[in-house]
Structure 1
Amino acid sequence: MKQTTHPPDHRSARVRNGAATAAPSPARTRTRRRPTSQQWAAWGFLAPVTVYLALFYAYPLYRNLDLSLRHYTVRSFVQGNAPFTGLSNYQTVFDDPTFAPALLHTAVFTAVCLAFQYAIGLALAVFFNQHFRLSATLRALFLVPWLLPLIVSASTWSWMLNSDSGIVNALASAVGIEPVNWLTSPSWSLTSVIIANIWIGVPFNLVVLYSGLQSIPASLYEAAALDGANAWQRFWRVTFPLLRPVSAITLLLGLVYTLKVFDIIWIMTKGGPADSSTTFATWSYQLGFGNLLPAFGPGAAVGNLLVVAALVFGLVYVRVQRKQALS
């Protein structure tokens, strides 16, 4: 009699003491792959950037937030045993009579500087886009205010706007205009620092917007001209719409820079007279370092308000860009 054989039942082999055990999955039996040389190289390139961001961005933000939530004195700042006070420093800032003027000055300073820097930079970019003779040389000369150190630019404007020996008042007197106390009058101090900051920021707008104009095909202008569009119509219907992405990033970077402007205002007016040109940037410095008894907590709180403002506008920009990409 022929005896038949059956293949072994693997299910019964997996039964141990009446309990079924699951077979090991293929994913578990696979050996873990070791990082390749390319992956190690990628991590090697990322490491310096990560360390830099952690040391010079993440840690200072953390320390500033910690300063704003504790009652720091000079002694506790050194010893590190400041008591936790929560949001009391922010309440102190909001109740301070300087808060409302500083907020207004920050808003006016930022809005006016952005508007004039963008408008003048766009006009110059369109002008230099004509590629006339000496256009490259003139563009290079317009970059000088941007390349100079801020302390040099601010000191130059302080000398030019000096009430007694400034060249601006000298020219005004030559044509019969009464001299103006640009830096010492509460009515003119904010205007003075706005003029200086516009002069410094125009070259940045010129460079970025000019690069955006170079990416617009010339065939579009030729087609618009064949359709009978004049120079203004070509600018409004062709140039301006195609520059919107470049304009958005230019305005965002200009906003972040203008919000934190400190050097120009401090060198020219120190936020005065009578806080007439005080912004959040100068006020934060005055609270933290400008007094014999520094208020580290409120000063850090004002600085955090600037960070939040820049973050909000950055998120708005990202949201608008995402909507434009989806549409």
Structure 2
Amino acid sequence: MRVTTEPVAPAVRAPGGEPPPVAPPPRQRLHRRIRSTQWAGLAFLAPLLAYLLIFYAFPLYRNLELSVHDYTVRAFVLGNAEFTGFANYRDVLTSDTFGLALRNTLLFTFVSIAAQYAIGLALAVFFRANFRLSGVLRAMFLVPWLLPLIVSGSTWAWMLAGDNGIVNAALEAFGIGQINWLTDPDWALTSVITANIWLGIPFNLVILHAGLQNIPDELYEAAALDGANAWQQFWRVTFPLLRPVSAITLLLGLVYTLKVVDVIWIMTTGGPGNVSTTLAVWSYREAFGTGQPDFSPAATVGNLLILMALAFGFVYLQLQRRQHADQEGEQP
């Protein structure tokens, strides 16, 4: 039997006589690639995590810590505040101001967002037909939204002033007597609600108008061919298809309105008495409005306001989940 041998190629050596490096197995390379991707993802998340910790987690923790201690100005400076547990919450909930402030908060919030949404939706539908000068008029409606709130609040306080306000001057021109809009207990809350409605209409107009642009014109043409009038087209086409945008608009308006302080403080400072005091105004007054800061009750009221906002947020999420479940159930 004849045996043949194949020539063996000499091993390639790196400069210096050392053997070449051996490539790692494919599984090890895959693990390295995954680890590198994870580190890259963490690097991108790091700024967001730092932002959430610094501007959300730490202030929330600090607010909770303030509410369970007795923080006067002296204790705040020296850092020796006495631990009181839930005593601040008990004092706030049993205070004579709490019931009135809660009622004012709910009334101020729900009347404001209902009127802002209704007027904003009406204007959005009106501006959907791109008529002449519609862009200019939409831009003019944005002016209240662009102004600083201190300017808007001061303007409304001047307009509703009892002696030289422009509103009372107009009423006198029609033979109606003067109304003390900002100092009369029967009108103070109505005045600040009116000003807040005026401030929130542009936001609703912009969001709802953008949502209307996503509704195809073919649906309106089909509805018109079926004999639907303008109201039926709105109720059967516009309103149902605008429901997701309406939900997020109302939620954002709710969260924003719950924490309104500046407009009320500039116009009435929560008065006369506590007639126009909301939970947000009460919290601000305790911390900064009396000249003798009492940070613990202020933080306590603020935490109750946060709980209210979270409750409304959970209700919104539950409604959205139910809506998605109903939509999936309708699909064949």
**2:207 is equivalent to residue 208 of structure 1:** yes
Show the counterpart of 1:7: none
Q: State the alpha-carbon separation in 2 of the partners of residues 187 and 174 from structure 1.
A: 23
Contact 2:287 2:295 in 1 (8 A): yes
| Per-residue CA distance 1:113-160 (angstroms, 9 max, x = gap) | 011000000000000001111111111110010011000100111111
Residue 312 of structure 1 deviates from its aligned partner by 0.6
Show the counterpart of 1:168: 167
Residue 293 of structure 1 deviates from its aligned partner by 3.5
Show the counterpart of 1:269: 268
Residue 54 of structure 1 deviates from its aligned partner by 1.2
**2:283 is equivalent to residue 281 of structure 1:** no
| Per-residue CA distance 1:184-208 (angstroms, 9 max, x = gap) | 1111111111111000000000000
Show the counterpart of 2:100: 101
Secondary structure (helix, strand or coil) at the match of 1:49 reads helix
Show the counterpart of 1:146: 145
**2:58 is equivalent to residue 51 of structure 1:** no
Show the counterpart of 1:194: 193
Residue 269 of structure 1 deviates from its aligned partner by 0.5
Contact 2:68 2:85 in 1 (8 A): yes
Return 5+ residue gaps in structure 1 as ranges.
Answer: 1-27
Return 5+ residue gaps in structure 2 as ranges.
Answer: 1-26, 327-332
Letter in 1 for 2:254: L
Q: State the alpha-carbon separation in 2 of the partners of residues 205 and 292 from structure 1.
A: 37
Residue 64 of structure 1 deviates from its aligned partner by 0.4
Show the counterpart of 1:324: 323
Show the counterpart of 1:313: 312
Q: State the alpha-carbon separation in 1 of the partners of residues 83 and 276 from structure 2.
A: 33
Contact 2:286 2:297 in 1 (8 A): yes
Show the counterpart of 2:110: 111
Show the counterpart of 1:3: none
| Per-residue CA distance 1:149-188 (angstroms, 9 max, x = gap) | 0001001111111111111111110111111101111111
Q: State the alpha-carbon separation in 1 of the partners of residues 253 and 309 from structure 2.
A: 11
Residue 76 of structure 1 deviates from its aligned partner by 1.5
Residue 40 of structure 1 deviates from its aligned partner by 4.5
Contact 2:73 2:294 in 1 (8 A): no
Q: State the alpha-carbon separation in 2 of the partners of residues 236 and 195 from structure 1.
A: 27
Letter in 2 for 1:93: V
**Equivalences for residues 17-36 of structure 1 within 5 A:** 33=32
Show the counterpart of 1:183: 182
Secondary structure (helix, strand or coil) at the match of 1:98 reads helix
Q: State the alpha-carbon separation in 2 of the partners of residues 206 and 73 from structure 1.
A: 44
Show the counterpart of 1:240: 239
Secondary structure (helix, strand or coil) at the match of 1:194 reads helix
Letter in 2 for 1:277: S
Q: State the alpha-carbon separation in 1 of the partners of residues 63 and 134 from structure 2.
A: 46
Show the counterpart of 1:304: 303
Q: State the alpha-carbon separation in 2 of the partners of residues 49 and 133 from structure 1.
A: 44
Q: State the alpha-carbon separation in 2 of the partners of residues 30 and 129 from structure 1.
A: 57
Show the counterpart of 2:122: 123
Q: State the alpha-carbon separation in 2 of the partners of residues 265 and 313 from structure 1.
A: 22
Residue 49 of structure 1 deviates from its aligned partner by 2.0
Q: State the alpha-carbon separation in 2 of the partners of residues 31 and 277 from structure 1.
A: 65
Residue 275 of structure 1 deviates from its aligned partner by 1.0
Secondary structure (helix, strand or coil) at the match of 1:48 reads helix
Show the counterpart of 1:69: 68
Residue 112 of structure 1 deviates from its aligned partner by 0.6
Q: State the alpha-carbon separation in 1 of the partners of residues 191 and 44 from structure 2.
A: 45
Secondary structure (helix, strand or coil) at the match of 1:33 reads helix
Show the counterpart of 1:291: 290
Show the counterpart of 1:136: 135
The percent identity for this pair of structures is: 66
Residue 296 of structure 1 deviates from its aligned partner by 1.5
Letter in 2 for 1:133: R
Q: State the alpha-carbon separation in 1 of the partners of residues 31 and 215 from structure 2.
A: 51
Q: State the alpha-carbon separation in 1 of the partners of residues 29 and 144 from structure 2.
A: 62
